[in-house]
C-alpha cells in the first residue's frame, strides 16, 4: 500500500492534466497504467480487483486514440467524447468504492474516511455535469457557452480535489504505521 496511493496520484495527474503539442504530452493511457499499478499495490486481495484491473486495461487501450489525437468526424467525435465521459464516471465510482471497501476491511479507518468524502460526492457531481452537458445542444448559444465554462470549472475543481486527496492518502501517518506493523 506504500506506493499504491502514489501511483494513483500520478495516474490521475496524467489523466486529468492535458498538455498537447500535436499529441498529449501526459498521455491518459500512461495514467491508466499507473492507476492499474496503484490498484495492484492497494487492493490486489479484494474480490472485485480483477474486474477493475481489466476495466483499467480496457481504458488503456481505448485512451490511445485520444492521446494520439486521431481525427474523427465532428458528430462522431461528440458522441465518442460523451460515451467516454459516461465510462469515466462509472469507472471513477467503481474505483473509489473498491478502494473504500478494501480500506474498511483492512481497518484503515482514517484513510477510508478521507476516501468516503470522494465516494459520496465526486460521482454525483460528475453525473450532474454530464446530464447538463447532454442538453447543451438544445439551449441558446450564449447560455450554452456559460454552462460549458461552468462545467469545465466544476470538473477541474473535482479533478484537483481527487488529486489532492490521493496525494494526502499517499502521505498519511496511518498508512505509515500500518506498513511498519
What confidence tier does 131 reach under pLDDT thresholds 50, 70, 90? Answer: confident
Cell of 159: 479533478
**Is pLDDT above 60 for 176?**
no
pLDDT higher at 2 or 107: 107
Q: Tell me the CB-side half-sphere exposure of residue 79, using CA atoms within 13 A.
A: 4
- Residue 23: count of CB within 10 angstroms of its CB: 10
Residues of 30-55 as b/e, b for ≥16 C-beta within 10 angstroms?
bbbbbbbbbbebbbeebeebeebbeb
Rounded CA separation 62/66 (Å): 8
SS3 23: strand
Mean pLDDT of 139-153: 83
pLDDT band at 117 (very low <50, low <70, confident <90, very high): confident
Amino acid at each position: 500500500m506504500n506506493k499504491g496511493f502514489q501511483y494513483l496520484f500520478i495516474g490521475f495527474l496524467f489523466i486529468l492534466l492535458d498538455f498537447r503539442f500535436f499529441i498529449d504530452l501526459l498521455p491518459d493511457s500512461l495514467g491508466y497504467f499507473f492507476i492499474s499499478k496503484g490498484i495492484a499495490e492497494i487492493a490486489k486481495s479484494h474480490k472485485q480487483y480483477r474486474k477493475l484491473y481489466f476495466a483499467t486495461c480496457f481504458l488503456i487501450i481505448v485512451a490511445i486514440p485520444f492521446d494520439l489525437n486521431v481525427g474523427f468526424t465532428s458528430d462522431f467525435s461528440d458522441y465518442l467524447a460523451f460515451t467516454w465521459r459516461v465510462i469515466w464516471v462509472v469507472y471513477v465510482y467503481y474505483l473509489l468504492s473498491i478502494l473504500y471497501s478494501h480500506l474498511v476491511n483492512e481497518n484503515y479507518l482514517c484513510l477510508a474516511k478521507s476516501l468516503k468524502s470522494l465516494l459520496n460526492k465526486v460521482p454525483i457531481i460528475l453525473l450532474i455535469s454530464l446530464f447538463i452537458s447532454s442538453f447543451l445542444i438544445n439551449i441558446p448559444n450564449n447560455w450554452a457557452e456559460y454552462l460549458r465554462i461552468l462545467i469545465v470549472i466544476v470538473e477541474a475543481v473535482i479533478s484537483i480535489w481527487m488529486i489532492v486527496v490521493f496525494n494526502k492518502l499517499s502521505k498519511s501517518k496511518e498508512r505509515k504505521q500500518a506498513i511498519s506493523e
